[in-house]
């Protein structure tokens, strides 16, 4: 199956490349897993879970995941502001794929 991606003259046009573009970066997969385990999750809860991430980086990652329709941001009209994040249906379907990566890692870890 991978060979058809390698044979493709334009790797950027493959589904494999598209999927990688959605989860690329240091924190996106961890954010998705956190939402899978604990949703809905607020910004500060995510920050505590990820530990060494700046507000700007977390905010940027969340915006990208929302633009890619992998997560849903819900803002409550109250003071102080309350915002929660959860996986969209599209995000949940991606988690099935990421879970297989985890299984492989567990089976092949030295």
- CATH number, domain at 51? 1.10.10.10
Give the whole-angstrom CA distance, residue 68 versus residue 71. Answer: 8
Per-residue pLDDT band for 6 (boundaries 50, 70, 90) equals low
Instruction: Please check whether residue 43 lies inside any domain of the structure.
Output: yes
53-105 tens-digit pLDDT: 999 999 999 999 999 999 999 999 998 889 999 999 999 999 988 889 889 99
Residue with tokens 């990421």: 98
Per the structure, the count of domains in the chain is: 1
Per-residue pLDDT tens over the stretch 15-32: 888 888 889 888 999 999
Q: Is 70 within the bounds of a domain?
A: yes
pLDDT at 25: 87
> How many helices and strands (H and E) does the chain possess?
6, 3
Residue with tokens 């989860």: 23
In a domain, 15, yes or no: no
Above 70 in pLDDT, residue 2?
Answer: no
- Decide if 16 is inside a domain: no
Domain annotation covers residue 18: no
- CA torsion angle for 21, 22, 25, 29 (degrees, to 10)? -140
Domain extent for 93 = 27-108
> Is 10 within a domain?
no
Token code pair at residue 14: 């493959």
Q: Report yes or no on 31 lying in a domain.
A: yes
Beta bridge partners of 42: 84
Q: Record the pTM.
A: 0.83
CA dist., res. 41 & res. 32, Å (int): 11
């Amino acid at each position: 199956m991978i060979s058809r991606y390698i044979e493709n003259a334009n790797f950027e046009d493959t589904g494999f490349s598209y999927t990688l573009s959605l989860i690329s970066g240091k924190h996106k997969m961890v954010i998705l897993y956190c939402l899978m385990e604990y949703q809905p999750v607020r910004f500060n809860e995510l920050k505590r879970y990820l530990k060494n991430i700046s507000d700007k980086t977390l905010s940027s990652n969340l915006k990208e995941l929302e633009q890619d329709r992998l997560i849903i941001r819900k803002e409550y009209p109250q003071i102080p502001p309350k915002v929660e994040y959860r996986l969209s249906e599209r995000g949940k379907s991606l988690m099935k794929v990421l879970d297989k990566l985890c299984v492989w890692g567990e089976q092949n870890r030295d």
